[in-house]
Structure 1
Amino acid sequence: MQAADHPAIRRLSESLGRQAEPGNWSAGECQVVVKNPAGELLGWARAHWWEPADPLAPAGYYLAGIEVACGYRQRGVARSLTEARLSWIAQRASTAWCVVNAQNTASLALHRALGFEELARAPRFGTVVFNGGSGLLLSKEVVSSRGPAKAQV
């Protein structure tokens, strides 16, 4: 991800009814995008170190945000973005973490397919509050890879 991608990320986020603000993200985190051959943004994702100060969720490297354009869902974009983030985490730690809304069946299916396991359920983890239900704390052991993380579709 580069600063030149920020306007497209904001537009994608707004089209999904959200408010991603990439200008506020830390330079030390993993930030990846997937584009089509014409350079159109299809999706973005991030991962970073998080210390949630939560009795259930430990400090560690967490998959943070991910958004995929509606016309490109169920085509492997989210999986590519997540695999790139897992590769980045594997270069820094042995465990990857994430929290997911229990009602987000697509995200849960993706994470389970990638080997994540549920460790806890709660209405909140750290500063993340789950509206209309509970969230799941998921983790996966990761193995270090030799090359840099790259997302390809």
Structure 2
Amino acid sequence: MSAFEPVPMKASDHEAIRLLSRSLGRTSEPSRFGDEECQLVLKDESGRLIGWGRAAWWDPNDDSAPAGYYLSGVEIAREFQQRGYASRLTAARLAWIAQRAQQAWCVVNARNIGSLRLQCSSGFEEVTRSEHFGSVWFTGGSGVLLRKDLTEAARDSSAELT
């Protein structure tokens, strides 16, 4: 694995993100992302997009899922998958959340085994399952609400800054 590190997303990355998303059968539209989010990209030596990820505050207005900072998307180009890039983006997003909160959240389609493995390997634990959380409905089954305690990570980050 190379030393590519996540960097902040720029407007000039949006077209490459749209193309990557379409190549994966998805419809991500970065121009609709919020201003107060963590938005990161990974690029290769030539500046080609490897992947992107984001995290943001979300209030699902749902009794099952609390308001909080949620991992809200990650996509990796097919030729770069299974090389740890999604884990790098996840670690960077969790560090961003740890500066703001003591917990991180995410919701995943229960059929998305790859995403569930990624979240579990990052320390997330299942809280509950439902056919929807807030306005997010899950095709073909249920969604999984996951939570990660960041109190230790936040303490470690604060110690590094002093």
Asked if Structure 1 and Structure 2 have the same fold, meaning a TM-score greater than 0.5 normalized by the shorter chain, the answer is yes
- 1:2-151 pair list within 5 angstroms: 2-142=10-150, 143-144=153-154, 145-146=157-158
Measured in 2, the distance between the counterparts of 1:27 and 1:12 equals 21
Q: How much has 1:47 moved relative to structure 2?
A: 0.4
Q: Percent identity?
A: 56
Superposed CA offset, 1:108-132 (max 9, x none): 1111111100000000001111000
The root-mean-square deviation of aligned C-alpha atoms, in Å, is 1.2
Distance 1:87 1:31 in 2: 13
Q: CA deviation at 1:90?
A: 0.2
Q: Give the greater-gyration-radius structure (CA).
A: 2
Aligned length: 148
Greater share of helix: 2
Instruction: Give structure 2 stretches of 5+ with no counterpart.
Output: 1-8
Q: Unpaired segments of 5 or more residues in structure 1? A: 149-153
| Equivalent in the alignment of 1:151 | none
Describe the superposition over 1:5-29 as per-residue Cα deviations: whole angstroms up to 9, x where unpaired: 0010000011111111111111110
Identify the structure with bigger relative contact order (alpha carbons < 8 Å, sequence gap 6+): 1
* TM-score, scaled to structure 1: 0.94
The code of the aligned residue for 2:61 comes to: A
**Poorly superposed stretches of 4+, deviation over 3 Å:** none
CA distance in 1, matches of 2:85, 2:136: 24
What TM-score do you get using the length of structure 2 for normalisation? 0.89
